Every structure is written in C-alpha cells, then in structure tokens.
Amino acid sequence: RRMSATLYVLSTLGGYVLTSALLLKCPGLLHRPKRQRFRCRHISHRGGAGENLENTMAAFHHAVNLGTDMLELDCHLTKDEQVVVSHDENLKRSTGVDVNISDLKYSELPPYLCKLDVTFQKECQCEGEDNRIPLLQEVFEAFPETPVNIDIKMNNNVLIRKVSELVIQYKREHLTVWGNVNYEIVSKCFKENSDIPIIFCAQRVLLLLGLFYTGLLPFIPFKEEFFEIPMPSIILKLKEPQKMSRSQKFVIWLADTLLMRKALFDHLTARGIQVYIWVLNEEHEYKRAFDLGATGVMTDYPTKLKEFLHNYP
C-alpha cells in the first residue's frame, strides 16, 4: 500500500512537471496573448538623462527626433494640482532649493540646475539649457503619437485621477503605461482607469518569480501588461566595489541570477507581456538584455542605444 501511494505521488508530480514545462514553452495553450497596442525596444529614461537635463522638453524632443520608441518619465502634483514631470518630490537635488513640489504652485517651481548627475552612470553629469520643469500636458501635446511610460511617484489619489483625466483628454489610453514599484499605487491606477496598461509592482514581481521557480507561473493569469525590472548587476557599477561586503555582493549576484532568466522572459513575451530592463547605459548591458529576450531597454543615452540597435541583429 505504501509503494502504491509513493508511485501515485511520483506520477502526479511527474505529470505536473511535464504540464508546467509544456505550458511554460507554449502558454498559448492556456492563455490568450495580451493585445499589444505598441511594442518598444528603444526607451529613453527620463527622456535620456545622459544627453539632456532629465525630464525636460529638450530631452524629450531630442529622444523623439532620434526615433525612440518610448519616453519614460515621472510625475508629481503641485499645490495648485498641476501634473508636472519630475523625478523627485523634493527639489534639492535637481534645483538646489530644498522644497517639495506639493508645497508650491506650478508658477513658483524653481528651474533645474544647469548640470545634473546621471543617476545610473557613476561620476557622470549632464548639462543643458532647458531647465524648466514641464507639465505632463505639454508632453502629450508635443508627442501625440509617442508611447509614454509614466511612473506615478506619489501615493496620491488626486495625482492618479489627474493623470487619468489627461490620458483620456488626449485619447492616449493606447499609448500610455503607468504604475510604480508600490503595490497600492498600481492598484489605485488600475481601479481608476483599467484601460491604461499597468506594470508589475515590486511585490508582484516577487510573486511572479515565486510562481516561476515553483512551476506555477504558466497556470496563473495576470492583469499587468509590462514587466519592468532593473538588471541587478548594474548596482555593482554604481557603488564602490571595495566598500561592499561579501554578503552584499552575494545578494546582488543572487538577485541577478534569479531575475535575468531567458525562459522567464520568453514565457512572458509569448503571453503578450512586454519585458523592459532598466537602466542600462553600456553596450554589453544592452546586448545581455536583448540576448536574454527582453522586449526593450531603458537608457539614459538614447544615441548610444540607437547605434547599438542599428548593428544588433
């Protein structure tokens, strides 16, 4: 009796493994692929923060003129409820003035400094003449045909509602992605306007990884349409390696090993979920991402990525 029970468990487990492996390779047997309203390989992070001052109209115009597939930007809300394009809520880093965007009217916002650090490129700075913080509305008006990836930086119901209203006003549901690493923000975005595609928040990325490594991923449906993740190995480039402990380096290596998986990216792509890797600024990083099956790459250097893609098969 014990032997028959063991055989039953083994056969059941074997059937589960085989079914999971089959559906991982051929998810269309269970899931209808999501309808992709656009597909992006070349994504300009903050408009291309290594070539123009981040999140400025000059940066966005430069990237679009180069032929970028998508603009990535960040949004906040001013005291007079204007949706502005800025990465930071506090403007000390970007303007030199220690003040929060939410405490000022749009007309009171200080200009950007003429030189800013490139966050994802160590010891690099970018200069620019256009130092004005723009409105999201200006971006929509200037680039009516360009997909825009919006990071909702604050858990603010009014901000989420205002962004949704602008997307509807400019008829951009089919050209917009929004979300944040925060679960609550993404949930509110989806509840506010489910016609705008959302990204996986950090919590859902961890869930997805757990499902992938237990073989359950092929059986689970998802409402998200974009899997946007960092390449963990770039952290080693941004910090002083000699100042990092062995355990810190191990955690980065482990995260990179678990997250950067071609089988995972191929499965998501087959289900119509686009995979975007951020923020990559070197050719070998571009190559690794695309070799692993990423749909697109976010970069601070849109010219460099354009040249790479010209030569990449």
Domains and CATH numbers, the chain: 41-308 (3.20.20.190)
For the chain, the average pLDDT equals 96
Q: pLDDT band for position 10 (50/70/90)?
A: confident
pLDDT at 12: 80
Q: E strand or H helix at 83, and its extent?
A: strand 83-85
Please answer whether residues 95 and 113 qualify as being in contact, where contact means their C-beta atoms are separated by less than 8 angstroms: yes
Cα–Cα distance, 10 to 93 (Å, whole number): 59
pLDDT at 145: 98
pLDDT at residue 9 greater than cutoff 90? no
- DSSP states of 125-157 as a string? EEE-S--PPPBHHHHHHH-TTS-EEEEE-S--H
For 74-118, the pLDDT digits (tens) are: 999 999 999 999 999 999 999 999 999 999 999 999 999 999 999
pLDDT at residue 237 greater than cutoff 90? no
Cα–Cα distance, 200 to 229 (Å, whole number): 9
- DSSP states of 170-232 as a string? TT-GGGEEEE-SSHHHHHHHHHH-TTS-BBPPHHHHHHHHHHHHHT-GGG---S--EEEEE-T
pLDDT at 287: 98
Please answer whether residues 185 and 179 qualify as being in contact, where contact means their C-beta atoms are separated by less than 8 angstroms: yes
pLDDT at 1: 65
Please answer whether residues 160 and 185 qualify as being in contact, where contact means their C-beta atoms are separated by less than 8 angstroms: yes
For 262-297, the pLDDT digits (tens) are: 999 999 999 999 999 999 999 999 999 999 999 999
Q: pLDDT band for position 174 (50/70/90)?
A: very high
* Residue at token pair 């003129």: 65
pLDDT at residue 3 greater than cutoff 80? no
pTM beyond 0.75: the answer is yes
Please answer whether residues 159 and 86 qualify as being in contact, where contact means their C-beta atoms are separated by less than 8 angstroms: no
For 30-73, the pLDDT digits (tens) are: 999 999 999 999 999 999 999 999 999 999 999 999 999 999 99
pLDDT at 4: 75
Cα–Cα distance, 286 to 280 (Å, whole number): 6
